[in-house]
Amino acid sequence: MKQLSENILDIAENSVKARASLIEIILEENPLLNTLSIEIRDNGCGMDNETLERVTNPFYTTRTTRKVGLGIPFFKMGAEMTGGTFHIESKVGQGTVIGTMYHTDHVDFIPLGDIASTLMTLIGGAPEIDFVYKHTRGEKEVLLDTRQLRETLGDISLDTPEVLIWIRDYINEMYDAFNN
Amino acid sequence: MKSLAELAAIRDKMKGKVGIRADHDDDTRIVVGMATCGIAAGARPVLNAFVELAAKHTEKHVSVTQTGCIGICQYEPVVEVMEPGKDKVTYVKMTAEKAAEVFEKHICGGKVVTEYTIGTAHK
């Protein structure tokens, strides 16, 4: 993966497949410590302990088309390469929390990249699921909650192309303010 | 600055359209592979290019959807175009630029872009 936002897309797709109704993607930056943490929380089907122990192994996958599963191993590796950490907790019937911490001043830290495209892709692929995206740095915040968008949209689906484009542009504008 | 008022305007515009075509069986479907292999190979900009083109050309009745890994990871990003009554066309090693070309020539012009299909890539 060339951007952390691609890892986020890949990991959140697992939450979609776990039939979550709410997926939260929370990013917190600490500019004093030069760290970034990413956490993806879902209320999907969860995993038992045996599965949980195997998911960081590249030779474990639930897919039937091939024998390797690299999503979680890539996510974990990306964090550990910066001297950061990885964690995952899950409970059957309750959901999964998966997170990473990065040292942003490390040479192997890859940029967040195009997070607006990631959200557009996730929401477009699973318009029935609610997504909360929150990125904070001190007092600054970027926040998107599809429950709020639904109130405005009524019975127009979130995967309407015009709506997805609006979401992408909205996120990008929030980031313009966030980064200045 | 984007606002919720703008989103409400999109809603009102769409409401007028929804009633006209309740049935989507005659839609052209564009399916983009979005598993780890697809994403790592650059499927995200390909998907979003198609979404943008579908929004621009609503008269073409195109729906853009995502799928998992279909088992040909070495050819990702993979895109399948399914038109009602026609054979499925599989495009491989796609980019946002190739997506624009496929949309223009195949979806709008009715002509398959053979050089990007899996049949050509196999040779």
CA distance A132 to A147: 8
pLDDT digit string, tens, across residues A2-56: 899 999 999 999 999 999 999 999 999 999 999 999 999 999 999 999 888 888 8
Q: What is the pLDDT of residue A70?
A: 84
The answer on pLDDT for B22 being more than 90 is no
Q: pLDDT band at residue A83, thresholds of 50, 70 and 90?
A: very high
B interface toward A at CB cutoff 8 Å? 1-2, 4, 6-8, 10-11, 13-15, 18, 34-37, 39-40, 44-45, 47-48, 51-52, 54-55, 58, 64-66, 68-71, 73
Q: What residues have CB less than 8 Å from B9, skipping those under 6 apart?
A: none
Best mutation target among B3, B31, B51, B52 (most A Cβ atoms within 10 Å) is B51
Q: What is the pLDDT of residue A48?
A: 92
Where do the domains of chain B lie, and which CATH numbers do they carry? Answer: 24-122 (3.40.30.10)
Q: What is the 3-state secondary structure (H, E, C) of B5-58?
A: HHHHHHHHHHHHHHCCCCCCCCCEEEEEECCHHHHHHCHHHHHHHHHHHHHHCH
Quote ipTM for the complex. Answer: 0.85
Contact at CB, B44 and A10, closer than 8 angstroms: no
B11-19, Cβ contacts within 8 angstroms, sequence gap of 24 or more: B11/A152, B11/A153, B11/A154, B11/A156, B13/A162, B14/A156, B14/A160, B14/A162, B14/A163, B15/A156, B17/B58, B18/A155, B18/A156
Give chain A's mean pLDDT: 93
Q: What is the pLDDT of residue A56?
A: 82
B52 to chain A: which residues are within 8 Å by CB?
161, 165
Q: What is the mean pLDDT of residues A62-71?
A: 70
Q: Looking at A47-56, A113-122, A156-165, B23-32, which range is the least confident one?
A: B23-32
CA distance B58 to B92: 25
Q: What is the pLDDT of residue A65?
A: 64
- Identify which of A34-43, A66-75, A154-163 has the greatest average pLDDT: A34-43
Q: pLDDT band at residue B104, thresholds of 50, 70 and 90?
A: very high
The answer on pLDDT for A104 being more than 60 is yes
Query: Cα separations (Å) of B32 from A30, B27, B64, B84, B116?
Result: 36, 16, 8, 17, 14
Q: pLDDT band at residue B24, thresholds of 50, 70 and 90?
A: low
Q: What is the pLDDT of residue B31?
A: 95
Q: pLDDT band at residue B70, thresholds of 50, 70 and 90?
A: confident
Q: pLDDT band at residue A168, thresholds of 50, 70 and 90?
A: very high
Contact at CB, A65 and B64, closer than 8 angstroms: no
* A58 torsion bin: left (phi>0), alpha (psi -120 to 50), beta (else): alpha
Q: Domain span at residue A147?
A: 4-178
Task: Give the total number of structural domains in chain A.
Answer: 1
User: What CATH number does the domain containing A89 carry?
Assistant: 3.30.565.10
Q: pLDDT band at residue A1, thresholds of 50, 70 and 90?
A: confident
A interface toward B at CB cutoff 8 Å? 1, 6, 9-10, 13, 63, 65-66, 69-71, 74, 114, 117-118, 120-121, 124-125, 148-149, 152-156, 160-166, 168-170, 173
